[in-house]
Amino acid sequence: MRSLARRLLEEPLGKLKLAPPWHKLQLVLALLVTALPGGAAPLKFWVMGREPGAWPEILSAVGFQAGDDASAGVYVIRGGASGAARPWRERLEQGAFLVLEGESEVAADFGFRPGTGRVRVGQIRDARMPELPIVWEEPLEVPRFETPAEARVFARERWQGAPVLAGFRQGAGAVLWVAASPGRRGYERFPYLIHALADLGLSPPFRSRRLWAFFDSSYRARVDLDYFGRRWRQAGIAALHVAAWHFMHGENDAYLRELIASCHRHGILVYAWLELPHVSEQFWRQYPEWREKTALLQDAHLDWRKLMNLVHPDGRRQAARLVRDLVDKFDWDGVNLAELYFESLEGVANPARFTPLNEDVRREFRRARGFDPLDLFQTASPRHHARNPDGLRAFLDYRAELARRLQSEWLAELDSARARRPDLDLVLTHVDDCYDAGIRDAIGADAARLLPLLDHHSFTFLVEDPATVWHLGPQRYAEIARRYQSLTRHTDRLAVDINIVERYQEVYPTKKQTGTELLQLVNQAARSFSRVALYFENSILGPDLPLLPAAAAVVSRADSSGGLLKVDSPHGVGVPWEGPARVNGRLWPARDATTLWLPPGLQTVTPAAEEVPLRLLDLNAELHSAMARPGGLEFTYRSSARALAVLDRRPERVQVDGVVVPDPVVLAGRDACILALPRGQHWVVVEAAAGAPTPPAAATP
């Protein structure tokens, strides 16, 4: 499946002008806490009109909660809806955000008035990504609107330049106007609508730092790794899964060590991403006798992957030796065994891409079933698959069982590495064959056969979104999750992988997932699975990065009034906050300069008068509880890999489960100190150095 993804992936868009620039990231992510009617912060929205349309899906994708006229901080007035009687300008001054759709009395009052002409809109140009084609599936004729002089135009009709998305700040709030409905799903027409609201000062109320992302160094060969480490963490990335086949034979060791060190400096875990049966370029060149064969008996060099025969005992032993050496040589936090099955998505219809037909497979199948599976692809043979459906079924079932056998063997191989590296996490990436059942026969992937392995091995089962459904909407993730949850009791170990690439289907408004569509995909996936991974970090367009943490945050319920904030979240969440705070009455140490980090469950947050002696700026694990204590702090956590904890200064002493840790510090700097803590569920007590001053508030590295 990655083969198709890489074929479709576009080159980096380095020449495009991205806004907002990265030096404004903290501004985009900081929430404006202002006094709104009823004392509420910009946490809830209310849609005025007979039907809410797709606005709830748009706004909830970045964490805003549905409210009413009294509790909302974001108001949407749909085309033709009446709302002129309300004191909008007063509310804007106090911090409300007003979204105006098409023509309305209120829109005209703020200067968005239809002129005499009309314009047919089929494509638009967004100022944020002016070279990105944004095409509407169904062109729409709208009035050519006049906009007020103070308005910033975010998007125009591509050919005539008529404004279609514009807004301006007023007081502590802002007005955003859009020329038409955003569409049935919310992203068909204006992909960067949410981004425009962020540019006007409205930032999401919650954020998460639990995303995974795949990383291929061939796209980042000459970059400042420290700069990228910082921006990856700011974008909510908890772990980078690094293409390990580039480093199998000692090439680029220095680069990989610096990449891992940079990620660790910024609280990011690093996994070795394997793509067996592709081992490496050098392995392919060095051992031609172990190359996989297609049904045409050609070497299986299919797209970027060069597939090897891992059924051959010598080939498997040599590949296993390389993998063991790689795992032991570098400071990995985990290993991802990805896509260990066969080609291709076209199945038997394309013999030139169909595998495996190496000598070992053919011999093994012939011994079991009495005929050579190659006969299934010989046009003149009576055993050709068109005339031999039972024989074809036997081979496809054998092929699926072979894939399961190989995955089980390699999981056991990697599991044995934990004897040497007890904090090593394991991941199995497996393309979905439950939502699209045709995948099983196409590539031999069979999740139902694999999921019982969770009873015997501790790993995350990462479901890869298949290419065949990339054009479908975000709601598919709930159904995909439901089908997998019915197959295993280990539902907390199920994760999903979203491919962010140019799609081969006819899709609108953009070929690649971006803007509101991407935010909805991430949000729905995060609500359906315990973890979300993105393929891959280089394919995410610049405007989307600052909003990913909001899309990945999952909050069941939230309320704010009278200086008190209540948040209920299944995985824990960050809330914008400045200064000391109490959570459930306890003085709370888990915060950086802009964000308070909360554990799962219902939490009540109130301001505090006193500062904590030591702060937990960031934790790459699931925080279960925390509290300040005299001279330090304590917290509990759970993590499938080792945990990285970022403190605002170096501690005097660290205890894990009551035992003093001799030297847990992996990096100490002027403003922060990073601890490496063991995998699993643990209780940590940290004591600050006696008499040491608390440094000023610092953002997470």
**What mean pLDDT is predicted for residues 22-51?**
54
- Per residue, the 3-state secondary structure of 570-622, as one string, reads CCCEEEECCCCEEECCEECCCECCCEEEECCEEEEEEECCCCCCCCEEEECCE
**Does 165 fall in a domain?**
yes
> 160 and 234 share a domain?
no
- CA separation, residue 457 to residues 406, 431, 490 (Å): 15, 19, 11
Q: Residue 101 in contact with residue 189, Cβ under 8 Å?
A: no
Q: Do 357 and 443 reside in the same domain of the chain? A: yes
Q: What is the mean pLDDT of residues 496-500?
A: 97
Is position 562 within any domain? no
CATH number at residue 258: 3.20.20.80
Q: Look at residue 14 and tell me if it is in a domain.
A: no
- Rounded mean pLDDT of 480-494? 97
For residue 2, the model assigns a pLDDT of 63
Residues 177 and 218 reside in one and the same domain:
no
Report pLDDT digits (tens) over 573-608: 999 999 999 999 999 999 999 999 999 999 999 999
Please tell me the predicted confidence (pLDDT) of residue 41.
54
Residue 279 has pLDDT above 90, yes or no: yes
Among 142, 175, 199, give the residue marking a domain's end.
199
Judged against a pLDDT cut of 90, whether residue 151 lies above it is answered with yes
Rounded to a whole number of angstroms, the distance between the first and last alpha carbons of the chain is 35
Mean pLDDT confidence for 28-54: 63
Does residue 221 share a domain with residue 113? Answer: no
The residue assigned the tokens 């076209």 is 346
Residue 88 has pLDDT above 70, yes or no: yes
Would you state the pLDDT for residue 561?
Answer: 86
User: Do 590 and 536 sit in the same domain of this protein?
Assistant: no
Instruction: List phi, psi (to 5°) of 646.
Output: -105, 120
Give the pLDDT score at 82. 82
How far is residue 82's CA from residue 685's CA, in Å, rounded to a whole number? 57
| In the predicted structure, residue 34 carries a pLDDT above the cut 70 | no
Is residue 292 one of the residues assigned to a domain?
no
pLDDT above 80: residue 23: no
Residue 204 maps to a domain: no
Task: Count how many domains the chain has.
Answer: 3
Statement to judge: residues 194 and 223 lie in one domain? no
Residues 258 and 144 reside in one and the same domain? no
CA-closest candidate to residue 559, choices 62, 72, 99: 72
Spatial neighbors of 190 by CB under 8 A, at least 6 apart, are 124, 155, 164, 165, 178, 182, 515, 516
Better-scored residue on pLDDT, 628 or 663: 628
The stretch 417-431 carries a mean pLDDT of 96
Based on the fold, state whether residues 482 and 429 are members of the same structural domain.
yes
User: Do 270 and 162 fall within a single domain?
Assistant: no
Question: Cα–Cα distances in Å, from 563 out to 40, 110, 605?
Answer: 9, 32, 8
Same domain, 255 and 393: yes
Is residue 561 a part of any domain in this protein? no
Query: Does a structural domain hold residue 653?
Result: yes
Rounded-to-integer distance, Cα 543 and Cα 195, Å: 7
Same domain, 82 and 158: yes
Indicate if 454 and 533 belong to the same structural domain: yes
**Which single residue is written with the structure tokens 């190496």?**
358
- Domain end: 153, 177, 199, which one? 199
Res 483: pLDDT: 97
Contact between 521 and 474 (Cβ < 8 Å): yes
Q: pLDDT tens across 210-232, in order? A: 999 999 999 998 899 999 999 99
* Residue 126 structural domain: 32-199
Residue 302 resides in a domain: no
The domain that holds 182 is classified in CATH as 3.40.50.880
Gyration radius from the chain CA atoms: 27
End position of a domain, from candidates 519, 552, 585: 552
